[in-house]
Chain A
Amino acid sequence: MKELMLGNQAVARGLYESGVRVVSSYPGTPSTEITEYIAKYPEVYSEWAPNEKVACEVAFGASLGGARSFCAMKHVGLNVAADPVYTASYIGVNAGMVIGVADDPGMHSSQNEQDSRHHAIASKVPMLEPCDSAECKEYAMLAYEISEKYDTPVMLRLSTRISHSRSPVEVGERITPPEKPYVKNVGKNVMMPAMAKARHVFVEQRTAALREYAENSGINRIIEGGDIGVIAAGTTFNYAYEALGGKASYLKLGMVNPLPVELIKTFASKVKRLIICEELDDIIETHCLKHGIKCEGKSLFSFCGEYSQSIIRKAVLGEEYEYRTFPEQFPARPPVLCPGCPHRGLFYALKGLGVYVSGDIGCYTLAAQKPLDCLDACLCMGASVSGLHGFNTARGAEQAKRSVAVIGDSTFIHSGITGLIDIAYNKGISTVIVLDNSITGMTGHQNNPANGLTIHGDPTVAVDLEALAHAVGFASVRVTDPYDVETTRKVVAEELQKEEPSLVIARRPCALLKTAQRKKPLIVTDACVGCKSCLKVGCPAISVENKHAVIDNNQCIGCGVCAFACRVGAIKEDE
């Protein structure tokens, strides 16, 4: 039976049908739904891990213990997991182990556009890349066969357009893979210099064997057509096929590491012009040039952003479609913090204090935009805390009284804790603010170790943020409600003045949670003078029309932050 499935859902189905027993992941767009879907299968143990490194290590341990295992992450998550991945490559597997990694060309929801194929090459791990939901399932299953046959972790590379598109998938039954007993093997499983030297030799032999697989297995296949030759994989193959159809022949790659050599030479000999279509970096092109195969690639296409059929049509055929345009300029519509978002009150308070704000990854990164305009830096998960320590160290103790770090609860658990330890241990006096909204928000509401709920929504222990801060050496820990802007501002101002490190927890559940408190929409009284002070909080539910503030009843949940911003007390609760 065929079902219409999201790419990520089809990966989850492939894991299920392969008999996978253990899945551990950290959410990250566009990879998140793989693990959300796998959590619906009671036969599979699944969990949210604190970060991708932990998730990958759990998958490694499960493989060693004899269960087929999986971990999912976004491209930048693979940087966090790189440490275990590179050495798991040496150790190999007992039961099959697959790492799902989703790139985000075009940066729909990411801080960079890195190409995860580099990690596959550098860690010498084979990488498969599906082009639709059917292949997502097929390749997820194939990955376990390759993993166990060649004794290697396997990466499954996805991208936004594959992960987040739906297409038909043939659904099958779950298999029970052969038993994999645990047998102690120090030479294979304990990586210290003497053993690792031998395993490195194995890894090189394995790569040679996998290259043979890439040449002959049929996973990389030629589709005969016109005399333009295109080499592509994944979503880029779809674009090329859409743009060029029968005018071109294709070498569709299903395995993007290691790459075949003889197959490409054979394909090149059959076509007049060889074009490499690859989003992001020039990995296939460089491979061709290294082996003396003449081709065109980045001379036609960009290193930046997503490709599409129209980009390829224009670059290869010089053709463009006609279209109409709206006859005048119009405003952009950037994403914004939701009405009632607890982050808004915190940032409005910080804006009043005029402090340097070291930012982090999450919904609250949106506070960088006008009108809040409140972030000074955002680098990667956890960097707000350690980055603030560096900034304050460079600029001195007085600066430390005028700067804060902001980090969400999930991001803090992911990699903010080590930064906190660094501050306390090294006698810093920085002020760190955890925006505790009891959920991993931006990726679509996943539970995390700080909210006391498992991936299935079952109650579990919650990290006690206050006790944790005390334990690492932060004596001063305060909790504040960000809807209460005045108190929040006062608490942060007091903590900034202290000659010791401080943790402020701005605690209030995400406004989109079912458990969030919703009050009646606020009203604007005749006292309004149309001064637009209320617009400085950047709430989509409030605007000023004909010199009078207007609150949208469909959006407002009565958080009261705009009422705090109003200079004449014109915004009130509806009695």
Chain B
Amino acid sequence: MTYNILIAGVGGQGTLLASKLMGVVFMGKGYDLKVSEVHGMSQRGGSVVTYVRFGDKVSSTVIEKGEADMVLSFELLESARWLPYLKKDGVLISNTQKINPMPVITGQAEYPRDIAEKLRSTGVRLHTVDALALAEKAGSAKSVNVVLLGVAAKYLGMEREAWENAIRATVPPKTVDINLAAFDAGYTL
């Protein structure tokens, strides 16, 4: 069996750190895994996605429509965009933060209203979280990614210690405390 996590966000939000930390934890648990990232042009403020797959033996690097056990979305509009990738019984964890894309900024398009309600109307298992507020409370708006990782970790059923070790081993020493506080803000929700 392979467990599929799709992490979606906006370039610059730090989705790569979240996937990297997941990679460290799943590898430590002895799983085979593949973590597929986006580099280059699409990173520049565009819609970005990272695929994390772990299990006994993982072949493909990508997650396709109807295949994700979990979609971890860093931004509300991105939740709408990546919803089709979720399995019918998968869980969608969505940050409630909104970041306007350029077509909205220039007035060519409108940011959809009531996205969370419309997502719920599809029958999807939805867990919304105001990760920006929690990150600011933890000490840095930049730790939105680790707050969301904390929420995801709760669903993944691995002990907190494994995540703490991964954070300590991965983030710059100066930011360990803030990142652990951010992780717990999500994990203890």
Query: Does B23 lie within 8 Å of A166, measured CB to CB?
Result: yes
B45–A241 touching, CB < 8 Å? no
Chain B's nearest CB lies how many Å from the CB of A162? 8
Partner of A332, one of B32, B103, B107, B124: B103
Check if A324 is an interface residue, CB within 8 A of chain B: yes
A535→B122 contact, CB < 8 A: no
- Of all chain B residues, the one with the shortest Cβ separation from A363 is B44
CB distance from B185 to the nearest CB of A (A): 18
Q: Do residues A334 and B46 form an inter-chain contact, with CB atoms below 8 A? A: yes
B interface footprint on A436-453 (CB within 8 Å = 1, 0 otherwise): 000000111000000000
B162 at the interface (CB under 8 A from A): no
Shortest Cβ distance from residue B1 to the other chain A in the assembled complex, whole angstroms: 13
What CA separation (Å) do A391 and B88 show in the bound complex?
A: 55
A325 close to B58 (CB less than 8 A): no
User: Does A352 sit within 8 A of B, measured CB to CB?
Assistant: no
Is there an interface contact between B84 and A323, defined as CB atoms closer than 8 Å? Answer: yes
Cβ of B53 to closest chain A Cβ, rounded Å: 9
Closest to A339 in B: B45
The answer to whether the Cβ of B133 comes within 8 Å of any Cβ in the partner chain is: no
Q: Once the chains are docked, how many angstroms separate the CA of A132 from the CA of B33? A: 11
Are A324 and B77 in contact, CB atoms less than 8 angstroms apart? no
Contact residues, B53-67 vs A (CB, 8 A): 58-62, 64-67
- Tell me if A14 is interfacial: C-beta within 8 Å of chain B: no
B85 shortest CB reach to chain A, Å:
7
At the interface, yes or no: B83 with Cβ under 8 Å from chain A? yes
Give residues of chain A (158-175) contacting chain B, Cβ–Cβ below 8 Å: 161-162, 164-168
Check: A338 CB closer than 8 A to any chain B CB: yes
Contacts of B37 in A (CB 8 A): 6, 164-166
Distance in Å: Cβ of B43 to nearest Cβ of chain A = 7
In whole Å, how far is A566's beta carbon from the nearest beta carbon of chain B? 15
Tell me if A108 counts as interface (CB < 8 A to partner B).
Answer: yes
Question: Which of B27, B46, B66, B110 is in CB contact (< 8 Å) with A2?
Answer: B27
Give bound CA distance, A444 to B23, whole Å: 22
The CA-CA distance from A109 to B43 in the complex, in Å, is 9
On whether the beta carbons of A535 and B36 are closer than 8 Å, the reply is no
* Most B-side CB within 10 Å, residue of A332, A333, A369: A333
Which among A165, A167, A306, A540 is the interface contact of B105 at CB below 8 angstroms? A540
| A575 contacts B by Cβ under 8 Å | no
CB-based contact A235/B61 at 8 Å: yes
Report if A336 contacts B (CB, 8 A).
yes
* A538 CB contacts on chain B under 8 angstroms: 102, 105-106
| Cα–Cα, bound, A325→B38 (Å) | 23
Complex partner residue of B32 from A168, A235, A333, A371, CB under 8 angstroms:
A168
The answer to whether A334 and B84 touch across the interface, beta carbons within 8 angstroms, is no
B81-119: contact bitstring with A at CB < 8 Å (1 yes, 0 no)? Answer: 101111110000000000111111111111110010011
B-chain residues with CB within 8 Å of residue A369 when the two chains form the complex: 102
User: Could you tell me which residues of chain B, from 22 to 43, have a CB within 8 Å of some CB in chain A?
Assistant: 23-24, 27, 32-43
Please state if A328 and B112 are interface contacts (CB–CB under 8 Å). yes
Q: Are B101 and A333 in contact (CB under 8 A)?
A: yes
Cross-interface CB contact of A109 among B27, B40, B102, B107, cutoff 8 Å: B40
| Residue from the list B78, B102, B112, B119 in contact with A540, Cβ < 8 A | B102
A324-B105 contact in complex given A161-B61, A309-B60, C-beta closer than 8 Å: no
Output the nearest chain A residue to B11 by Cβ-Cβ distance. A335
Cβ-based interface call for B158 (8 A): no
Binary per-residue interface labels of chain A (323-352) against chain B in the complex, 1 for a CB within 8 Å, 0 otherwise: 111111011111111100000000000000
Q: How far is the CA of A29 from the CA of B112 in the complex (A)?
A: 33
- A116-175 at interface with B (beta carbon < 8 Å): 132, 161-162, 164-168
The answer to whether B122 touches A327 (Cβ under 8 A) is yes
Whether A242 sits at the interface, judged by CB under 8 Å, is: yes
Q: How many residues from B make CB contacts under 8 Å with A?
A: 64
Cβ of B123: which chain A residues have Cβ within 8 Å of it?
324
B121: interface (CB < 8 Å): yes
Give chain A's interface secondary structure class.
loop
B171 at the interface (CB under 8 A from A): no
Within the complex, which residue of A4, A164, A165 is in contact with B27, where a contact is CB–CB below 8 Å?
A: A4
Determine if A335 and B43 form an interchain contact, defined as CB atoms under 8 angstroms apart: yes
Q: Is B10 an interface residue (CB 8 A)?
A: yes
Contact assessment for B64 and A321 in the assembled complex, using a CB-CB cutoff below 8 Å: yes
Q: Closest Cβ of chain A: how far from B65's Cβ, in Å?
A: 5
Known: A308-B60, A326-B118, A327-B122. A164 touches B44 (CB 8 A): no
The residue that B141 contacts in the complex, of A30, A444, A554, with Cβ under 8 A, is A554
Indicate whether A525 reaches chain B with its CB closer than 8 angstroms: no
B49 to chain A, nearest CB (A): 11
Instruction: Report if A476 contacts B (CB, 8 A).
Output: no
Q: Check if A189 is an interface residue, CB within 8 A of chain B.
A: no
A247 lies within 8 A of chain B by Cβ? no
How distant is the Cα of A6 from the Cα of B32 in the complex, in angstroms? 14
Report the Cα distance A168→B35, complex, angstroms: 10
- Bound together, the chains give a CA A219 to CA B15 distance in angstroms of 36
Q: Which of B59, B108, B111, B119 has the most CB of A within 10 A?
A: B59
CB distance from A328 to the nearest CB of B (A): 6
- A32 vs B100: C-alpha distance in the bound complex, in angstroms? 30
* Contact call B42/A323, Cβ cutoff below 8 A: no
- A380 within 8 A of partner (CB): no
Q: Which residues of B contact A167 (CB under 8 A)?
A: 32-35, 58
Within 23-55 of A, Cβ neighbours of B (below 8 Å) are at 29-30, 32-33
- The answer to whether A335 touches B44 (Cβ under 8 A) is yes
B106 touching A164, Cβ below 8 Å: no
Determine whether the beta carbon of A370 is less than 8 Å from that of B106.
yes
CB-defined contacts of B39 to chain A, threshold 8 Å: 29-30, 32-33, 108-109, 164, 444
Contact of A308 among B38, B64, B78 (CB under 8 A): B64
Q: Which residue of A lies closest to B111 (CB)?
A: A331
Known: A333-B78, A335-B43, A338-B45. A543 touches B62 (CB 8 A): no
A interface residue numbers (CB < 8 A to B): 2, 4, 6, 29-30, 32-33, 108-109, 132, 161-162, 164-168, 235, 238-239, 241-242, 306, 308-310, 320-328, 330-338, 363, 365-366, 369-371, 442-444, 532, 535, 538, 540, 542-543, 554
> With A109-B41, A322-B66, A331-B77 given, can you name 10 additional A-B contacts, CB distance below 8 Å?
A164-B37, A165-B35, A166-B36, A239-B60, A306-B62, A308-B60, A308-B62, A333-B101, A335-B44, A370-B102
Can you spell out 20 A-B residue pairs with CB atoms less than 8 angstroms apart? A6-B37, A109-B39, A109-B40, A109-B41, A164-B38, A166-B34, A166-B37, A308-B64, A310-B64, A310-B66, A324-B84, A324-B122, A325-B83, A325-B84, A326-B84, A330-B81, A331-B108, A333-B46, A333-B77, A535-B105
3 A-B pairs with least C-beta separation: A109-B40, A321-B66, A335-B46
